[in-house]
Amino acid sequence: MKAKTKLWFTEDGKTVMGAGRAELLKAIEEERSLRKACKKLGISYKHAWMMLKKMNEALGEPAIVTVRGGKDQGTFLTDLGRKLLAEYETGKQLINETIGDETAWENVSFKLSARNQLPGKVLEVEKNGLVCKITIEMEPSVITSVVTEEAVEKLDIKPGDRIYAVIKSTEVMVAKAVSEKGQTKTDSKEMDHSD
């Protein structure tokens, strides 16, 4: 059996970037032309424009710019577009490394239902752009969760914190106790690890 993941970035509930949009931005960066990028990816020009329009609306500013006329004409990524693509590629690489890291899955023999809250202690928080890799010790095992940087900041997660790994059939979230009464707060902007 092999684990698979999907990664996407959201802003206020709107999808900003997923695999398709990342491929489109990468092709635009390489080809310096939206038409050539569409041809390379085998998608229609109209479909590409709709993808870019939705991305720009979610971001509130453009990820690409088109220059018409002259020798420098073409379609180019803005600074935001390049940063977004780099963050996406970094996040994808981090997730692939985590899934491929056999030590992250060692000794995990819990019986899981649709939702489990497993107490643990944060060993490490590795920030990498828009995503963070949280290493959690749960005797006798250690697990890794990949969540957004926003979630880590919102929950103020740092090494040594006692947290809960909230495991669903499609993802691993984290929760942090906020009072003596055991109330927890969770962040719903976790990265989905569904197939």
The tens digit of pLDDT for each residue in 13-23 reads 777 888 899 99
**Is 107 a residue whose pLDDT tops 80?**
no
pLDDT per residue over 140-186, tens digit each? 788 888 888 888 888 888 999 988 777 665 566 666 666 555 444 44
Our measurement of the distance from residue 115's CA atom to the centroid of its chain's CA atoms, rounded to an integer in Å, reads 21
Sign of CA dihedral 175, 144, 1, 103: negative
Task: Please state the pTM of the whole predicted model.
Answer: 0.54
CB atoms within 10 A of CB 109: 7
Quote the CA–CA distance of 175 and 22 in Å, as a whole number: 30
Compute the mean pLDDT over every residue in the chain, rounded to the nearest whole number: 77
Residue whose C-alpha is closest to residue 192's, from 112, 84, 123, 91 = 91
Nearest to 123 by CA among 106, 99, 139: 139
3-state secondary structure of 170: coil
Share of the chain above pLDDT 70, in %: 71
pLDDT band at residue 195 under the 50/70/90 scheme: very low
The string of pLDDT tens digits covering residues 40-66 is: 999 999 999 999 998 988 888 999 998
Query: What is the band of 81 on the pLDDT scale with cuts at 50, 70, 90?
Result: very high
Count of other CB atoms within 10 angstroms of residue 7: 21
Residue for token digits 């920030």? 127
pLDDT of residue 43: 93
How many angstroms separate the CA atoms of 139 and 146, rounded? 20
Contact of 167 with 147, CB cutoff 8 Å: no
Whether residue 133 is predicted with pLDDT greater than 50 in this model: the reply is yes
Helix axes 19-31, 79-100, angle to 10 degrees: 130
pLDDT score of 1: 46
